[in-house]
Amino acid sequence: MSALVNEPAGLTPETLAELREIAARYPEARSGLLPMLHLVQSAEGRVTPEGIEACAEILDISAAEVSGVATFYTMYKRKPVGDYLVGVCTNTLCAVMGGDEIFTRLKDHLDVGNDETTVDGKVTLEHIECNAACDYAPVMMVNWEFMDNMTPQSATALVDDLRAGTEVTSTRGPRICTWREAERVLAGFPDGRVDEGPSAGHASLVGLSIARERGWTAPTGEADEQSTSDDPRSDSGAHPAADTKQGAADQADDKQVEQAAVEDSNSSSEPAAEKDEAK
């Protein structure tokens, strides 16, 4: 069952000033719309009609344009969100690893459905599509921070801790803050926790470890640029003759192909010759 959450009191002069500050960061002011909407959510707990109008006025665009963006991206909410937005990945890999079972358990445990908030206003539950963390499936998120390798038991313990006010730390990140605080960070106002907690885990770094063991390195940018600038085909859609070195290499390749074809032809004709001799 959803909580009865009071309507927001309205945007303060401080929040309006910060919305203008965000817009001023960009050569084209309307490029600031996404972080501006996050700031509206930080201030009001969701994207409100007043927030839409304020963004439209500051950016000199229509409210319909702002609303179109706010309704397109799933991170923008039109209903009030609790202190903790708990998302359970139910996409393919997480689902088969237990994500569906976790989501069902949490719905029963919290007595809410998808996109609903507990009566105490603490937790909003939603199922989400791929978290891009399949190496830690099944994965949950709390206010956009990863909680990895979850089980129905650890998931219920997690939401109980959140509701009780117990400090919770992300598996690969900082201490969990409230949803409004997280939204303020997404608006571009850091909370000083950027270096708190690990940023990656062992499973995500296996490829890097293998590359280091085998001495694999990525091409340098300078070499890539030089290679592109030396290629006459990079300047147009046409395919002019290659330079001398490339032409010589191509001719050598052609000769190898021709020689192989001749050998194949001779090889295939030998049985026929043997038959003629036998006759």
Instruction: Specify whether 54 is located in the same domain as 120.
Output: no
- How far is 199 from 11, CA to CA, in rounded Å? 34
DSSP letter for each residue of 25-49:
TSSSGGGGHHHHHHHHHHHHSS--H
Q: What are phi and psi of 146, to 5 degrees?
A: -75, 140
Predicted confidence at residue 128, as pLDDT, reads 92
- In 56-202, the DSSP E strands lie at 84-89, 116-117, 123-128, 140-142, 145-147
Instruction: Kindly report, residue by residue over 134-178, the tens digit of the pLDDT.
Output: 999 999 999 999 999 999 999 999 999 999 999 999 998 899 999
**CA angle (182, 50, 81) in 5-degree steps:** 35
CATH number, domain with residue 45: 1.10.10
Residue 92 lies in a domain: yes
Domain count across the chain: 2
pLDDT over 80 (residue 267): no
Higher pLDDT pick, 25 / 258: 25
Residue 30 lies in a domain: yes
Residue 210 lies in a domain: no
Instruction: Kindly report, residue by residue over 73-115, the tens digit of the pLDDT.
Output: 999 999 999 999 999 999 999 999 999 999 999 999 999 999 9
Domain that holds residue 113: 84-177+194-203
Three-state DSSP state, 65:
helix
Predicted confidence at residue 199, as pLDDT, reads 75
Instruction: Specify whether 103 is located in the same domain as 164.
Output: yes
CATH number, domain with residue 164: 3.40.30.10
Band (278; pLDDT cuts 50, 70, 90): very low
Residue 233 lies in a domain: no
Specify the pTM.
0.71
